[in-house]
Structure 1
């Protein structure tokens, strides 16, 4: 294809179009030149800020991609030669498109400059001619040229002003990002004028400040020990970690959020969304080749670290800044695919007391459990305390060898483990401070912040510590209503429930030390809190522990107090004062009634709703009156209201403005809690009012019983065959239902139930094991309760004869039913 033909796909002009053919003997040399272009110190330059180029008619990006693929003869993997990997083609494609975009913008600017210069020259010539021989024709021509020059020089500015005005006109007072930017405090500046190095010297030179941050993060992400997995295996082999199945990889491009900062290569999410169909084959081939070669392309492994100051910290210290890793979007797509695959199975392998980033779980579970322990004390002479642990830079400290070992112990297959190891093979990062980027340095530990996979990997990495605490007989938890609670986790926020702290606390500290040795996760004991739960805890020596003793601490955004009646003031009272300050600051904004109501909905309502949902407090009428008085003054700009509040609270379809009714939100939050508890209670009562019987059903649901098949996976050499029938593997489903020795037994059970209730109940495992009726069969609630309880007694009888080669006796079940029905008051 000639250069002239190629240029027609760009614009009506002459721009040099380079044919990026990476095939041939010199492709490795060309690859190195391309990568040096992609990975230089100025890699932060975001050349695709003008995302409108993606749809510009003159700039035909799809056609450029087609030309590149044709030139390099990219074919499916089974049809192409192995001369050039897909990774090289992908890296070169990004460099090629970058060059074409820069070329297009450069050529466009040159044309405009040339046209401006030509107009100025023509105006100068007309001025000289008009000075010699004035005429109206020359004057009109001069005015026309001057107007054209003004339009050309101010066109871009006018377009930006119009775009800004249109954007504000459409979105200015709606509950969205633009309104949020107006109400947020502008507390931070991008520039960091001074920093203190490790020697205590203050550094003011921007380049040296960048080097100070680079040394800090290079040290932070350097491993402290070379792990050989021996110690990790010794710790993890004692844990019974559940197995999972593998899942297919899913397409994740559409799930990425637009408008986010791009990585070092400058390609935004919009680029991938616009050309997802065209890019998918080459990108997928790049992923596959990377897995087979066990190394990702270089730009996949690069990240740009930017920092934001932490609140109430010494800004002279590097540790007072929060690092954010900007990853390239192609590697984020791969991470998102793996994350969407993993998030489906995490609820089945992560215990219920860990809720952070686990699908279907909420931090309210942690808080409700905490409040139940503190405010529902039992009569006991045993001291009880809580430990709120502070994990020091938790996400940055996890050792990779440990993480990979844990993934294997949890039963993740070799396929997904290989993908995750691929993401953590030779990653590197550059620190950007004051718009100066450092050279790249290698990362050796930590989960990469900004990666969709990181929070899930951290949840998996921390779970063995929780498993150890639950299973250790040396660590005694706090018992409420017959249930022992030992630990609650939400990401790196950990709370341990401890009774008999004089004996239990040393075991906890030992476990934390051992866990640090294998995982790298360090607990900062100086910042951790010891919270006495009952009066007996004050009668023992707590000051011997290296922890801060306090009767109040903050957990998951809630101030926890030792007295229930102090919860209101320490949370709702503090929130009201913060709302007053915010509304006073926002009152100076030039907003209409609609904009002010939207501020209330997007900023005030979420804060209060969080407290309503998570704190067991009573809100009286005086609170509502005080709150509405503050907010009404704000939305009406300290003037007398002209519309009744009840009218404003009506839906927009009914002539209102959907102004929040905070009383309704408070009621809804409490009704949701009541609904959840009622559902749990109904299910529990349907099983049994006896705690021992409830535990049986709970263990069945969570597959806690040890079958021969499960034991054979834990201990190689164990026979997995069923002892009753000696025919099939003894899975839990087999032991409770499918065993041929149980067929006659279950048939008699279902016949007895059918005869007693006067309705045919077909034998099925759902009813037999869980007491749930099959679809299409409806019974009165009391009959459903009878079925649930009597089948529970059958499962109890099977467990009592778990190792017996014979099936249970129907007569024994009938005796149990007659005995327990009266006790259950059924």
Structure 2
């Protein structure tokens, strides 16, 4: 059955992945491709046939994650990647749970009173649907498809909710202050629609962004010193805050914005790494400016150029104009005006 149904579809999926692998996509974009163009090839099979064997499932899962990470080792645990944004995930499909979810839709159909399907199963399998659904595992059921359906139902009844990562992240960043980690994880998704910036901030929060400290350990770089000051070890905190050249850049940025708009942007290590976690209009733009500034710093580091405020200002103005235009397309005009009016002077400077 699998060779006739699943194998041709998995081959089709391989062809789709080959096409999209030629594009420059972030993992966020690749997950979107998986959820829209790839899994849709298998939905009708998952819904109407027995669950494929472990070998086939592992092959499928391996193919999808190889696509996400470009045939390199996973950078984030798969269980984490499948969680909601607020729990630190990217909403990747958990294939096994997804298949069980599709199977569970049959339980709703069966529980409708006096359905022909229900009567057919009870007569052919010599079982009582209510007993199987409400009393436990499907020991009596012989049909492999319906075994999968009732097994999924039983597992769902005992399933525990996934734990969040609050204690883990607090320990890793060595921060004594308790954060609302749901807001931290959601910040970039609330602030912008750019998947490039989503992936950038995601790497910072999960500490998988490439700094010289890490690249030196894996022998990619010959030194772990900061690209900009060449004095201290370049870790995440240093490259975005404690380097004196970067600190000066944040001060110049704050002065420029205040002179143009009379708006203060408070900066400290917490706000720079995780954003200002208020969710009003001003905080959205503040977070966007902080996020774009970090991206400018990191992009400059990769090019091994010198950070300067003129370059940052030009990059910010260009990016903010684009974000403003996209924002006006998504929101009612009067709401967009309220959000962006205070910031117009920096776009016109």
| TM-score relative to the length of structure 2 | 0.47
Q: Which has the larger radius of gyration?
A: 1
Higher relative contact order (CA 8 A, sep 6+): 2
| TM-score relative to the length of structure 1 | 0.22
Q: Looking at secondary structure, tell me which structure has more helix per residue.
A: 2
